[in-house]
Amino acid sequence: MSKLPPSASITHAEEGGKLSAPSALRNIAAITEVVTAHAPPSGRALEIASGTGQHITALARALPALDWHPTEIAPERITSINAYRAEAALPNLHPAQTLDATAAGWPAQHVPYDLVYLGNLLHLISDAAANTVLSQAAQVLTPHGVLILYGPFMRAGQLTSDGDKSFHADLRGADPAIGYKDDRWINEILTQAGLDLKVVEMPANNLCLIARQEPS
């Protein structure tokens, strides 16, 4: 497990086991808008590293024709996800499952998904772990599935804001193996997996990377 600086994960405990992340509250509307625009009309959706559960609850509410399956590795976050699920009472939001997406072979235990969403994880793990997550997320997609990645990234090897430079330095200071991933590197991995990448600019200098099967 990577060592993270305090700036990487700020959450507050709430009643009923829920955790609240201020960053999730800030970006939830923009993420929901982009995912809604690029999601399939129906099917099965997986969120890798669901965190507090705030994002997937909003996505399940906005996209009721998709069956949403949250996953996490940390027990306290699974508790939080399920608390948000219980409060929302959405029929298309399933109980959280334990999943370490950096462990090889996990797609074999899952039915394929029409949408896989992953937000704010890749900069918190090593390049090797990120490669595993991305290549296996591609494997678990249906033939016409969509992979959506959200978070902070390098653009063509460059950090493009003072805030990104500071945060990347904090990450590397805590663990030299982690930090921002380059959008070109991610594109190379996903291209090798047969996916075609589209980049969407997001608030706060973040990106959404939308990957689909390359047209034949």
Global pTM?
0.95
For 59-107, the pLDDT digits (tens) are 999 999 999 999 999 999 999 999 999 999 999 999 999 999 999 999 9
CA distance 63 to 41: 8
Ranges in the chain, pLDDT < 50: none
- Which residues, including other chains, have CB under 8 Å from residue 37's CB and lie 6 or more apart? none
**pLDDT at site 19:** 93
**pLDDT at site 216:** 52
